[in-house]
Amino acid sequence: MTLLALGINHKTAPVALRERVTFSPETLDKALESLLAQPMVQGGVVLSTCNRTELYLSVEEQDNLQEALIRWLCNYHGLNEEDLRKSLYWHQDNDAVSHLMRVASGLDSLVLGEPQILGQVKKAFADSSRGHLNVSELERMFQKSFSVAKRVRTETDIGASAVSVAFAACTLARQIFESLSSVTVLLVGAGETIELVARHLREHHVRKMVIANRTRERAQALAEEVGAEVIALSDIDERLKEADIIISSTASPLPIIGKGMVERALKARRNQPMLLVDIAVPRDVEPEVGKLANAYLYSVDDLQNIIQHNLAQRKAAAVQAESIVEQETSEFMAWLRAQSASETIREYRSQSEQVREELTAKALAALEQGR
Protein backbone atom coordinates (compact mmCIF):
# COMPACT_ATOMS: atom_id res chain seq x y z
CA MET A 1 0.00 0.00 0.00
CA THR A 2 1.30 3.45 -0.99
CA LEU A 3 -0.03 6.89 0.00
CA LEU A 4 -0.10 9.50 -2.77
CA ALA A 5 -0.85 13.20 -3.12
CA LEU A 6 -1.06 14.64 -6.62
CA GLY A 7 -2.54 17.79 -8.05
CA ILE A 8 -2.10 21.39 -9.15
CA ASN A 9 -2.24 24.65 -7.22
CA HIS A 10 -1.80 28.41 -7.51
CA LYS A 11 1.99 28.02 -7.62
CA THR A 12 2.10 25.48 -10.45
CA ALA A 13 -0.89 26.37 -12.64
CA PRO A 14 -2.62 29.58 -13.81
CA VAL A 15 -6.29 30.15 -13.08
CA ALA A 16 -7.16 29.26 -16.70
CA LEU A 17 -5.98 25.68 -16.06
CA ARG A 18 -7.15 25.44 -12.44
CA GLU A 19 -10.74 26.27 -13.39
CA ARG A 20 -10.75 23.33 -15.83
CA VAL A 21 -9.61 20.83 -13.18
CA THR A 22 -12.15 21.64 -10.46
CA PHE A 23 -14.58 19.07 -9.02
CA SER A 24 -17.95 20.61 -8.17
CA PRO A 25 -19.89 19.40 -5.10
CA GLU A 26 -22.60 18.07 -7.43
CA THR A 27 -20.20 15.81 -9.36
CA LEU A 28 -17.89 14.78 -6.51
CA ASP A 29 -19.55 11.45 -5.68
CA LYS A 30 -19.50 10.31 -9.31
CA ALA A 31 -15.90 11.44 -9.67
CA LEU A 32 -14.88 9.42 -6.61
CA GLU A 33 -16.76 6.38 -7.87
CA SER A 34 -14.93 6.66 -11.19
CA LEU A 35 -11.61 7.09 -9.40
CA LEU A 36 -12.15 4.09 -7.12
CA ALA A 37 -13.09 2.01 -10.15
CA GLN A 38 -9.44 2.22 -11.20
CA PRO A 39 -7.92 -1.16 -10.23
CA MET A 40 -4.92 0.32 -8.43
CA VAL A 41 -6.93 2.75 -6.23
CA GLN A 42 -8.00 1.49 -2.79
CA GLY A 43 -9.34 4.75 -1.32
CA GLY A 44 -9.37 8.44 -2.12
CA VAL A 45 -10.12 12.00 -1.04
CA VAL A 46 -10.59 14.88 -3.49
CA LEU A 47 -9.74 18.42 -2.35
CA SER A 48 -10.94 21.07 -4.82
CA THR A 49 -10.76 24.80 -3.99
CA CYS A 50 -10.19 27.97 -6.01
CA ASN A 51 -6.44 27.63 -5.46
CA ARG A 52 -5.88 23.87 -5.71
CA THR A 53 -7.23 20.54 -6.89
CA GLU A 54 -5.59 17.54 -5.23
CA LEU A 55 -6.16 13.80 -5.03
CA TYR A 56 -5.08 11.98 -1.87
CA LEU A 57 -4.99 8.27 -2.56
CA SER A 58 -4.14 4.89 -1.13
CA VAL A 59 -2.94 2.73 -4.02
CA GLU A 60 -1.38 -0.58 -4.87
CA GLU A 61 2.03 -0.14 -6.48
CA GLN A 62 2.11 -1.11 -10.15
CA ASP A 63 3.99 -0.30 -13.34
CA ASN A 64 2.98 2.99 -14.97
CA LEU A 65 1.01 4.07 -11.88
CA GLN A 66 1.65 7.76 -12.47
CA GLU A 67 0.69 7.50 -16.14
CA ALA A 68 -2.57 5.73 -15.29
CA LEU A 69 -3.66 8.34 -12.75
CA ILE A 70 -2.72 11.29 -14.96
CA ARG A 71 -4.66 9.67 -17.80
CA TRP A 72 -7.73 9.27 -15.56
CA LEU A 73 -7.58 12.92 -14.48
CA CYS A 74 -7.19 14.14 -18.07
CA ASN A 75 -9.96 11.90 -19.40
CA TYR A 76 -12.34 12.98 -16.63
CA HIS A 77 -11.84 16.70 -17.36
CA GLY A 78 -11.19 16.46 -21.10
CA LEU A 79 -7.64 17.82 -20.80
CA ASN A 80 -4.52 17.43 -22.90
CA GLU A 81 -2.06 15.30 -20.90
CA GLU A 82 0.91 17.50 -21.79
CA ASP A 83 -0.85 20.64 -20.52
CA LEU A 84 -1.59 19.02 -17.16
CA ARG A 85 1.73 17.23 -16.79
CA LYS A 86 3.66 20.53 -16.82
CA SER A 87 1.75 21.79 -13.79
CA LEU A 88 1.21 18.55 -11.84
CA TYR A 89 3.07 17.63 -8.66
CA TRP A 90 3.33 14.11 -7.27
CA HIS A 91 4.14 13.19 -3.65
CA GLN A 92 4.49 9.67 -2.26
CA ASP A 93 4.36 8.24 1.29
CA ASN A 94 6.49 10.51 3.56
CA ASP A 95 6.21 13.43 1.13
CA ALA A 96 2.45 12.91 0.70
CA VAL A 97 1.91 12.95 4.48
CA SER A 98 4.05 16.06 4.88
CA HIS A 99 2.25 17.80 2.00
CA LEU A 100 -1.21 17.21 3.50
CA MET A 101 -0.08 18.47 6.91
CA ARG A 102 1.38 21.60 5.28
CA VAL A 103 -1.81 22.17 3.29
CA ALA A 104 -4.08 21.74 6.33
CA SER A 105 -1.87 24.07 8.39
CA GLY A 106 -2.00 26.82 5.77
CA LEU A 107 1.72 26.53 4.97
CA ASP A 108 1.07 25.83 1.27
CA SER A 109 -1.68 28.42 0.82
CA LEU A 110 -1.68 31.50 -1.39
CA VAL A 111 -2.01 33.39 1.89
CA LEU A 112 0.50 31.87 4.30
CA GLY A 113 -1.26 30.56 7.40
CA GLU A 114 -4.82 31.33 6.23
CA PRO A 115 -7.31 29.38 8.38
CA GLN A 116 -10.03 28.69 5.78
CA ILE A 117 -8.11 25.83 4.15
CA LEU A 118 -8.44 23.62 7.25
CA GLY A 119 -12.24 23.77 6.97
CA GLN A 120 -11.98 22.97 3.27
CA VAL A 121 -9.74 19.95 3.95
CA LYS A 122 -12.15 18.73 6.66
CA LYS A 123 -15.09 19.08 4.26
CA ALA A 124 -13.21 17.19 1.53
CA PHE A 125 -12.48 14.41 4.01
CA ALA A 126 -16.11 14.29 5.20
CA ASP A 127 -17.46 14.26 1.64
CA SER A 128 -15.07 11.49 0.63
CA SER A 129 -15.86 9.48 3.76
CA ARG A 130 -19.31 8.67 2.36
CA GLY A 131 -18.22 5.27 1.09
CA HIS A 132 -15.06 6.33 -0.72
CA LEU A 133 -12.33 6.34 1.94
CA ASN A 134 -12.07 2.57 2.45
CA VAL A 135 -8.54 2.59 3.93
CA SER A 136 -7.77 3.16 7.62
CA GLU A 137 -4.27 4.51 6.89
CA LEU A 138 -5.73 7.23 4.66
CA GLU A 139 -8.29 8.14 7.31
CA ARG A 140 -5.58 8.24 9.98
CA MET A 141 -3.45 10.51 7.76
CA PHE A 142 -6.27 13.06 7.53
CA GLN A 143 -7.13 12.90 11.23
CA LYS A 144 -3.47 13.44 12.02
CA SER A 145 -3.30 16.43 9.68
CA PHE A 146 -6.22 18.06 11.55
CA SER A 147 -4.45 17.73 14.90
CA VAL A 148 -1.20 19.04 13.39
CA ALA A 149 -3.01 22.09 11.98
CA LYS A 150 -4.48 22.78 15.42
CA ARG A 151 -1.07 22.43 17.04
CA VAL A 152 0.51 24.81 14.50
CA ARG A 153 -2.16 27.44 15.15
CA THR A 154 -1.86 27.02 18.92
CA GLU A 155 1.93 26.97 19.23
CA THR A 156 2.89 29.55 16.58
CA ASP A 157 1.80 33.02 15.43
CA ILE A 158 1.03 31.80 11.92
CA GLY A 159 -2.51 33.19 12.12
CA ALA A 160 -1.78 36.29 14.15
CA SER A 161 -2.55 38.85 11.43
CA ALA A 162 -5.75 39.17 9.41
CA VAL A 163 -4.33 38.23 6.00
CA SER A 164 -6.49 36.39 3.48
CA VAL A 165 -7.76 36.61 -0.07
CA ALA A 166 -10.77 38.43 1.37
CA PHE A 167 -8.51 40.86 3.24
CA ALA A 168 -6.42 41.38 0.11
CA ALA A 169 -9.54 42.21 -1.91
CA CYS A 170 -10.52 44.83 0.66
CA THR A 171 -6.97 46.20 0.76
CA LEU A 172 -7.09 46.65 -3.02
CA ALA A 173 -10.40 48.49 -2.72
CA ARG A 174 -8.96 50.84 -0.09
CA GLN A 175 -5.91 51.52 -2.28
CA ILE A 176 -8.05 52.55 -5.26
CA PHE A 177 -10.76 54.44 -3.36
CA GLU A 178 -9.44 56.88 -0.77
CA SER A 179 -12.41 56.27 1.48
CA LEU A 180 -14.90 53.41 1.45
CA SER A 181 -17.44 55.52 3.32
CA SER A 182 -18.60 57.01 0.02
CA VAL A 183 -18.77 53.88 -2.17
CA THR A 184 -21.37 51.21 -2.93
CA VAL A 185 -20.15 47.61 -3.04
CA LEU A 186 -21.89 44.72 -4.79
CA LEU A 187 -20.95 41.31 -3.39
CA VAL A 188 -21.81 38.36 -5.62
CA GLY A 189 -22.15 35.10 -3.68
CA ALA A 190 -22.60 34.47 0.03
CA GLY A 191 -19.99 31.82 0.80
CA GLU A 192 -17.19 31.91 3.34
CA THR A 193 -14.92 34.25 1.36
CA ILE A 194 -17.69 36.76 0.71
CA GLU A 195 -18.64 36.60 4.40
CA LEU A 196 -15.08 37.61 5.31
CA VAL A 197 -15.09 40.38 2.69
CA ALA A 198 -18.39 41.73 4.02
CA ARG A 199 -17.06 41.83 7.58
CA HIS A 200 -13.88 43.62 6.47
CA LEU A 201 -15.96 46.17 4.56
CA ARG A 202 -18.23 46.76 7.54
CA GLU A 203 -15.16 47.47 9.69
CA HIS A 204 -14.13 50.13 7.15
CA HIS A 205 -17.58 51.75 7.17
CA VAL A 206 -18.50 51.19 3.53
CA ARG A 207 -21.45 53.41 2.54
CA LYS A 208 -23.66 50.65 1.15
CA MET A 209 -23.42 46.90 0.55
CA VAL A 210 -25.62 44.86 -1.78
CA ILE A 211 -25.41 41.04 -1.79
CA ALA A 212 -26.52 39.06 -4.85
CA ASN A 213 -26.88 35.33 -4.37
CA ARG A 214 -28.60 32.30 -5.88
CA THR A 215 -30.39 31.44 -2.61
CA ARG A 216 -31.87 34.35 -0.69
CA GLU A 217 -31.84 32.60 2.71
CA ARG A 218 -28.05 32.35 3.00
CA ALA A 219 -27.54 35.90 1.75
CA GLN A 220 -30.20 37.23 4.12
CA ALA A 221 -28.40 35.92 7.19
CA LEU A 222 -25.18 37.63 6.12
CA ALA A 223 -27.02 40.82 5.13
CA GLU A 224 -28.58 41.11 8.58
CA GLU A 225 -25.15 40.74 10.17
CA VAL A 226 -23.44 43.44 8.07
CA GLY A 227 -26.38 45.70 7.22
CA ALA A 228 -26.63 44.92 3.51
CA GLU A 229 -29.41 44.69 0.93
CA VAL A 230 -30.13 41.33 -0.75
CA ILE A 231 -30.94 40.90 -4.44
CA ALA A 232 -31.22 37.92 -6.81
CA LEU A 233 -28.51 37.06 -9.32
CA SER A 234 -31.00 37.94 -12.05
CA ASP A 235 -31.10 41.53 -10.72
CA ILE A 236 -27.37 42.14 -11.23
CA ASP A 237 -27.75 43.49 -14.78
CA GLU A 238 -30.15 46.18 -13.58
CA ARG A 239 -28.30 47.06 -10.35
CA LEU A 240 -24.69 46.88 -11.56
CA LYS A 241 -24.63 50.58 -12.45
CA GLU A 242 -24.96 51.47 -8.75
CA ALA A 243 -21.78 49.64 -7.74
CA ASP A 244 -18.39 51.30 -7.48
CA ILE A 245 -16.83 48.01 -6.38
CA ILE A 246 -17.89 44.48 -7.34
CA ILE A 247 -16.37 41.52 -5.50
CA SER A 248 -17.50 38.11 -6.72
CA SER A 249 -16.97 34.58 -5.43
CA THR A 250 -19.53 31.95 -6.44
CA ALA A 251 -19.37 28.31 -7.51
CA SER A 252 -21.00 29.03 -10.87
CA PRO A 253 -19.49 27.01 -13.74
CA LEU A 254 -20.12 29.95 -16.13
CA PRO A 255 -19.43 33.70 -15.86
CA ILE A 256 -22.15 35.70 -14.13
CA ILE A 257 -20.98 39.16 -15.20
CA GLY A 258 -20.31 39.63 -18.91
CA LYS A 259 -18.66 42.35 -20.96
CA GLY A 260 -21.98 43.66 -22.30
CA MET A 261 -23.42 43.91 -18.80
CA VAL A 262 -20.47 46.02 -17.63
CA GLU A 263 -20.59 48.20 -20.77
CA ARG A 264 -24.22 49.05 -20.02
CA ALA A 265 -23.40 49.82 -16.40
CA LEU A 266 -20.49 52.11 -17.36
CA LYS A 267 -22.68 53.98 -19.82
CA ALA A 268 -25.33 54.53 -17.14
CA ARG A 269 -22.59 55.69 -14.73
CA ARG A 270 -21.23 58.14 -17.34
CA ASN A 271 -17.98 56.17 -17.25
CA GLN A 272 -17.29 56.62 -13.57
CA PRO A 273 -14.69 53.89 -12.80
CA MET A 274 -15.65 50.46 -11.49
CA LEU A 275 -13.39 48.04 -9.62
CA LEU A 276 -14.18 44.35 -10.20
CA VAL A 277 -12.42 41.75 -8.04
CA ASP A 278 -13.11 38.20 -9.22
CA ILE A 279 -12.09 35.69 -6.54
CA ALA A 280 -13.96 32.77 -8.11
CA VAL A 281 -12.55 29.72 -9.90
CA PRO A 282 -14.03 29.16 -12.47
CA ARG A 283 -14.15 32.92 -13.02
CA ASP A 284 -17.38 34.85 -12.41
CA VAL A 285 -16.42 37.81 -14.62
CA GLU A 286 -15.60 37.47 -18.31
CA PRO A 287 -11.89 38.30 -18.78
CA GLU A 288 -12.79 40.65 -21.67
CA VAL A 289 -14.26 43.05 -19.08
CA GLY A 290 -10.69 44.02 -18.19
CA LYS A 291 -10.25 45.55 -21.65
CA LEU A 292 -13.00 48.14 -21.07
CA ALA A 293 -12.00 51.70 -20.25
CA ASN A 294 -12.79 52.58 -16.62
CA ALA A 295 -13.38 48.91 -15.68
CA TYR A 296 -10.53 47.67 -13.50
CA LEU A 297 -10.67 43.87 -13.28
CA TYR A 298 -8.52 41.82 -10.90
CA SER A 299 -8.53 38.02 -10.69
CA VAL A 300 -7.53 35.88 -7.73
CA ASP A 301 -4.03 35.62 -9.23
CA ASP A 302 -3.71 39.42 -9.34
CA LEU A 303 -4.18 39.58 -5.58
CA GLN A 304 -0.90 37.78 -4.97
CA ASN A 305 1.24 40.95 -4.92
CA ILE A 306 -1.00 42.53 -2.30
CA ILE A 307 -0.92 39.36 -0.27
CA GLN A 308 2.88 39.12 -0.41
CA HIS A 309 3.10 42.61 1.08
CA ASN A 310 1.31 41.40 4.23
CA LEU A 311 3.32 38.23 4.85
CA ALA A 312 6.46 39.45 6.61
CA GLN A 313 5.24 38.86 10.17
CA ARG A 314 4.24 35.27 9.37
CA LYS A 315 7.61 34.13 8.00
CA ALA A 316 9.23 33.41 11.38
CA ALA A 317 6.13 31.54 12.56
CA ALA A 318 6.22 29.45 9.38
CA VAL A 319 9.72 28.19 10.19
CA GLN A 320 8.47 26.97 13.57
CA ALA A 321 5.40 25.44 11.93
CA GLU A 322 7.52 23.56 9.37
CA SER A 323 9.48 22.04 12.25
CA ILE A 324 6.22 20.80 13.81
CA VAL A 325 5.13 19.28 10.48
CA GLU A 326 8.49 17.53 10.07
CA GLN A 327 8.26 16.03 13.56
CA GLU A 328 4.64 14.94 13.15
CA THR A 329 5.36 13.44 9.72
CA SER A 330 8.15 11.32 11.20
CA GLU A 331 5.83 10.12 13.98
CA PHE A 332 3.09 9.22 11.49
CA MET A 333 5.48 7.32 9.24
CA ALA A 334 6.78 5.40 12.28
CA TRP A 335 3.17 4.45 13.09
CA LEU A 336 2.61 3.44 9.47
CA ARG A 337 5.70 1.21 9.48
CA ALA A 338 4.54 -0.36 12.74
CA GLN A 339 1.15 -1.06 11.15
CA SER A 340 2.86 -2.68 8.19
CA ALA A 341 5.06 -4.77 10.48
CA SER A 342 2.05 -5.85 12.53
CA GLU A 343 0.23 -6.87 9.36
CA THR A 344 3.26 -8.88 8.25
CA ILE A 345 3.40 -10.64 11.63
CA ARG A 346 -0.34 -11.37 11.45
CA GLU A 347 0.06 -12.82 7.97
CA TYR A 348 3.06 -14.90 9.11
CA ARG A 349 1.13 -16.23 12.10
CA SER A 350 -1.86 -17.00 9.90
CA GLN A 351 0.33 -18.85 7.43
CA SER A 352 2.09 -20.70 10.26
CA GLU A 353 -1.24 -21.72 11.74
CA GLN A 354 -2.40 -22.93 8.34
CA VAL A 355 0.78 -25.00 7.92
CA ARG A 356 0.40 -26.39 11.45
CA GLU A 357 -3.19 -27.40 10.75
CA GLU A 358 -2.21 -29.06 7.47
CA LEU A 359 0.65 -30.99 9.12
CA THR A 360 -1.60 -32.04 12.00
CA ALA A 361 -4.24 -33.24 9.54
CA LYS A 362 -1.63 -35.25 7.61
CA ALA A 363 -0.25 -36.76 10.82
CA LEU A 364 -3.70 -37.77 11.99
CA ALA A 365 -4.44 -39.26 8.58
CA ALA A 366 -1.19 -41.26 8.73
CA LEU A 367 -2.04 -42.51 12.19
CA GLU A 368 -5.49 -43.54 10.97
CA GLN A 369 -3.96 -45.51 8.09
CA GLY A 370 -1.45 -47.22 10.40
CA ARG A 371 -4.10 -48.64 12.66
225 is in an annotated binding site: no
The type of residue at 67 is: E
Longest dimension (CA), the chain: 112
149 is in an annotated binding site: no
Count of residues making up the chain: 371
220 is in an annotated binding site: no
Measure the CA–CA gap between 65 and 270, rounded to whole angstroms: 59
Contact 72, 31 (CB under 8 A): no
143 is in an annotated binding site: no
369 is in an annotated binding site: no
Measure the CA–CA gap between 157 and 321, rounded to whole angstroms: 9
Residues 6+ apart with CB under 8 A from 291: 259
Q: Which of 165, 249, 242, 169 is nearest to 210 (CA)?
A: 242
Residues 6+ apart with CB under 8 A from 174: 180, 204
52 is in an annotated binding site: yes
Catalytic residue among 13, 36, 46, 50: 50
Check if 50 is active-site: yes
Contact 282, 299 (CB under 8 A): no
| H helices present in 19-64, as ranges | 28-36
Contact 240, 289 (CB under 8 A): no
109 is in an annotated binding site: yes
189 is in an annotated binding site: yes
192 is in an annotated binding site: yes
255 is in an annotated binding site: no
114 is in an annotated binding site: yes
215 is in an annotated binding site: no
193 is in an annotated binding site: yes
φ, ψ at 275 (rounded to 5°) = -105, 125
Query: What residues are designated binding site?
Result: 49-52, 109, 114-116, 120, 189-194
Task: List residues forming the annotated binding site for NADP(+).
Answer: 189-194
- Binding-site residue numbers for substrate are 49-52, 109, 114-116, 120
Residues classed as catalytic: 50
